[in-house]
């Protein structure tokens, strides 16, 4: 349980920083201004998603830490990309001209890699922490 809480806490912290750093790549959120509350709420949802993605890897034996980390990156990028595709196609948010776009997919690069990389770092830090 402590490992899950640590993964959640770390991913919330890292996601809030990430959201603030790449928020200037967005034109709007649901047609309005992007506020700190919106960024915090997005960070909270992302932390929950990362915790859920990490959950089975805490209890699955037989895979190395490196293999588990690689799977978390892959699953996180897949989930992020699906979220972005949905959000862009439903008008939930819009990118501005500064967002680097992944060709063919048409989604932003920074949001597409966010859950994978933050999930990986949160998971690795939590699993290497001897107190949990």
pLDDT tens track for 36-79? 999 999 999 999 999 999 999 988 888 888 889 899 999 999 99
Residue of higher predicted confidence among 56 and 12: 12
pLDDT, residue 113, reads 96
| CA–CA distance, 93 with 83 (Å, rounded to integer) | 11
Helix (H, G, I), strand (E, B) or coil at 95: strand
| CA–CA distance, 90 with 82 (Å, rounded to integer) | 12
Is the pLDDT reported for residue 114 higher than 90? yes
pLDDT, residue 59, reads 84
pLDDT, residue 132, reads 52
Q: Which helix (H) or strand (E) holds 108?
A: strand 107-108
Is the pLDDT reported for residue 9 higher than 80? yes
Per-residue confidence at 131, pLDDT binned at 50, 70, 90?
A: low
């Amino acid at each position: 349980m402590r490992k899950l809480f640590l993964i959640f806490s770390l991913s919330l912290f890292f996601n809030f920083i990430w959201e603030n750093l790449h928020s200037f790549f967005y034109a709007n959120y649901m047609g309005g201004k992007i506020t700190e509350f919106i960024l915090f709420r997005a960070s909270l949802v992302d932390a929950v998603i990362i915790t859920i993605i990490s959950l089975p890897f805490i209890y699955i034996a037989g895979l190395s830490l490196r293999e588990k980390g690689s799977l978390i990156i892959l699953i996180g990028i897949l989930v992020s990309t699906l979220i972005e595709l949905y959000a862009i196609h439903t008008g939930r948010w819009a990118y501005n001209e500064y967002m680097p776009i992944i060709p063919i997919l048409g989604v932003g690069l920074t949001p597409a890699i966010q859950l994978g990389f933050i999930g990986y770092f949160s998971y690795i830090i939590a699993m290497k922490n001897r107190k949990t």
